[in-house]
Structure formats: structure tokens, C-alpha cells
């Protein structure tokens, strides 16, 4: 401190710092700068009191104004739902098959159903609903359990082969590995292949046809065209749920399959189930 002195040229006090004879002047901070700083401090304190700010052990101080971004979203959603109450009531009351594409209600159902689908269904059926191995394509007109709106609604509402809904779609293909010999499985697989693509070995196909008649036609139909009562796939259309190559067919016949879908009626609101049924029906394969 003893080094502080007045600078000769300007008359301003120096800080006492000196480098090679160059001394630092101790000018006061400009007023405008200082007041801006004070204003910022006051504003920051006021802000942390008014708005959620200080982290606590669980959560944060909530602020006097009670604002939260989550609350804003909830408000938006409530406002949105209030706007749609009339449409929702109409959707719940409507006889779905009578909705006409182009109607406001149909458009609303498709839009609402689309967002339900993206959130709840796409992980199994694919974002474009084209399906995957074991998860049916919902865009085509090949339906396991029926493709009109009532059938689609029922499938979605109650699900497939789940233990939680007594009205779930249900059937079980036996595992024929315990019933048929390897040769018989080979023959019936060859017969099934021949239903949708040419197969050379006519004798094996004929043998397989008999085995099919005895063991499979009760569910898949005399001609292999399937049966929606029991969700048995059509085997002549070359559209495969699990795969149509001989190895996959043999695996299906030997071990059977057991596709399960949850009952969406237990998880979604009635209007969401109805909307997503209209959406699926509208994808292109609806009957």
C-alpha cells in the first residue's frame, strides 16, 4: 500500500502495481456499468424468488408465481382437450362403420389414432404398420382375425392370446413335433410350400396333402385359405407372418407359434381404442 501515489500526468491515484516503470491507474468503475451490475443482481434475486430456481434435495424451490414448464404443458393439454370434447363425445357415440372418409369425425379419428399408433403400436407393428416377423402387416388386406372395423376394434380392444382379458382372441396351434414324425413334417411343409409356389416333388406334395387334410385343415381350411375364427393364417397367399422358407415352415409346424398382443382396452381410453381402430382400418386394408 505504501507504493500508492498520484500519477503525475493524470492526477489519478495508482494501484501500486508497476511493470517496468508502467504504473496502473486506479480509475473508478464507470457509473453506468456499476448500476447495470447492481440491477442484474437485484433482478437475479427477484427472479429466483418468483420462479423455480434453487435446487433442493428433491426438486427445487417452486417460486412465488407458481410457474412451471410442466404446468404450462398440462394447461395446453387441458385446453386442447376442452376444444375436442365435442369430437370425443361424437367419436364415442358414433357407429364406426358409418364414418365416411372426409368427414370431420373420420379425419379426427384418423389423426388421433395415428398418434396413438406411433406411441403404442409402432414398436411391434413398425412405424409404417408394415409389421415384422411375428407382427402382422396392418396395411394389407390379409387379416388373421378380420379386417372390418368391428373385427379390428375387437382385436385391439381385447388383444390376442393374453391372459389378462377373458375376451382376448384365442387359439393354439399344436406343436406337431410331438405328433408327427420328421418325414411327415417334411411332407406337410412341402405341401404348404406348394400352395403358394411350384414344388417339384409331386409324390411328397401328395403325401403332405393327406397329412394336411388330417391335421391342419380343421384350422387352416380344406384349401389352406385360413380361418379367421381361430386366427389361422391363410397359407396360399405367399404372405407370411413368420416366414415361408422350408426351414421356418418346419420350425412353425414343429414348435408352433403363440403370437401375443396386449388388450388395449385395459390400457387406453375408449376414444383412443376407437380412434386407433379407425386409423388401422384406414391404412389401406380395411374391409
Q: How far are the Cα atoms of 48, 50, 57, 179 from residue 54, in angstroms, in the given order?
A: 7, 11, 10, 69
- Give me the least distance between CB of 203 and ligand HEC, in Å please: 18
**In the Cβ-directed half-sphere of 172, how many Cα atoms lie within 13 Å?**
6
**In the Cβ-directed half-sphere of 200, how many Cα atoms lie within 13 Å?**
0
Number of residues that bind ligand HEC (CB under 6 A): 48
* Under rule CB under 6 A, residue 136 binds ligand HEC: yes
CA distance 77 to 272: 15
Nearer to ligand HEC, 52 or 136 (CB): 136
Q: Which of 96, 168, 188, 278 binds ligand HEC (CB under 6 A)?
A: 188
Nearer to ligand HEC, 108 or 176 (CB): 176
Distance, C-alpha 33 to centroid of its chain = 54
Residues 220-249 that bind ligand HEC (CB under 6 A): 220, 230-233, 235, 240-243, 249
* Under rule CB under 6 A, residue 173 binds ligand HEC: yes
Whose cell is 379419428? That residue is 109
Binding mask 104-133 for ligand HEC (x = CB under 6 A): -------------x--xx-xxx--------
Binding mask 143-172 for ligand HEC (x = CB under 6 A): xxx------x--xx---x----------x-
- Give me the least distance between CB of 204 and ligand HEC, in Å please: 14
Identify whether the C-beta of residue 190 lies closer than 8 Å to the C-beta of residue 204.
yes
Residues 75-104 that bind ligand HEC (CB under 6 A): none
The residue of the chain with the least Cβ separation from ligand HEC equals 259
Q: Which stretch binds ligand HEC (CB under 6 A): 37-45, 57-65, 78-86, 211-219?
A: 211-219
Q: 10 Å Cβ neighbour count for 261?
A: 20
Residue 253 burial by Cβ neighbours in a 10 Å radius (0-12, 13-18, 19+): buried
Residues 243-282 that bind ligand HEC (CB under 6 A): 243, 249, 252-253, 257-261, 264, 276, 280
- Give me the least distance between CB of 216 and ligand HEC, in Å please: 3
Nearer to ligand HEC, 52 or 157 (CB): 157
The contacts of residue 201 (CB under 8 Å, 6+ apart) are 190
**In the Cβ-directed half-sphere of 110, how many Cα atoms lie within 13 Å?**
14
Diameter over CA atoms, the chain: 119
Contact set with ligand HEC (CB under 6 A): 117, 120-121, 123-125, 134-136, 138, 143-145, 152, 155-156, 160, 171, 173-174, 176, 188, 192, 215-216, 218-220, 230-233, 235, 240-243, 249, 252-253, 257-261, 264, 276, 280
Amino acid at each position: 500500500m505504501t507504493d500508492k501515489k498520484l500519477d503525475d500526468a493524470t492526477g489519478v491515484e495508482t494501484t501500486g502495481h508497476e511493470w517496468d516503470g508502467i504504473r496502473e491507474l486506479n480509475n473508478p468503475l464507470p457509473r453506468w456499468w456499476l448500476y447495470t451490475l447492481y440491477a442484474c443482481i437485484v433482478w437475479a434475486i427477484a427472479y429466483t424468488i418468483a420462479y423455480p430456481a434453487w435446487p433442493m434435495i428433491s426438486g427445487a424451490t417452486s417460486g412465488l408465481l407458481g410457474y412451471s414448464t410442466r404446468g404450462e404443458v398440462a394447461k395446453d393439454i387441458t385446453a386442447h382437450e376442452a376444444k375436442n370434447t365435442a369430437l370425443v363425445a361424437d367419436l364415442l357415440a358414433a357407429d364406426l362403420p358409418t364414418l365416411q372418409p372426409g368427414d370431420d369425425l373420420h379425419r379426427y379419428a384418423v389423426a388421433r389414432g395415428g398418434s396413438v399408433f406411433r406411441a403404442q403400436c409402432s414398436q411391434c407393428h413398425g412405424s409404417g404398420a408394415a409389421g415384422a416377423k411375428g407382427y402382422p402387416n396392418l396395411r394389407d388386406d390379409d387379416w388373421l382375425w378380420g379386417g372390418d372395423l368391428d373385427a379390428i376394434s375387437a382385436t385391439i380392444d381385447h388383444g390376442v392370446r393374453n391372459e389378462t382379458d377373458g375376451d382376448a382372441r384365442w387359439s393354439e396351434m399344436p406343436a406337431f413335433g410331438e405328433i408327427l414324425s420328421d418325414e411327415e413334417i417334411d411332407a406337410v411343409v412341402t405341401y404348404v410350400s406348394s400352395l403358394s409356389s411350384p414344388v417339384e416333388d409331386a409324390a411328397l406334395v401328395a403325401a403332405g396333402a393327406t397329412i394336411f387334410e388330417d391335421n391342419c385343415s380343421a384350422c387352416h381350411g380344406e384349401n389352406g385359405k385360413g380361418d379367421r375364427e381361430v386366427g389361422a393364417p391363410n397359407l396360399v397367399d405367399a404372405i407370411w407372418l413368420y416366414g415361408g422358407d422350408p426351414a421356418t415352415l418346419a420350425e412353425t409346424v414343429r414348435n408352433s407359434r403363440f403370437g401375443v398382443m396386449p388388450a388395449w382396452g385395459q390400457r387406453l381410453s375408449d376414444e383412443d381404442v376407437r380412434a386407433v381402430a379407425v386409423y388401422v382400418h384406414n391404412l389401406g386394408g380395411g374391409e
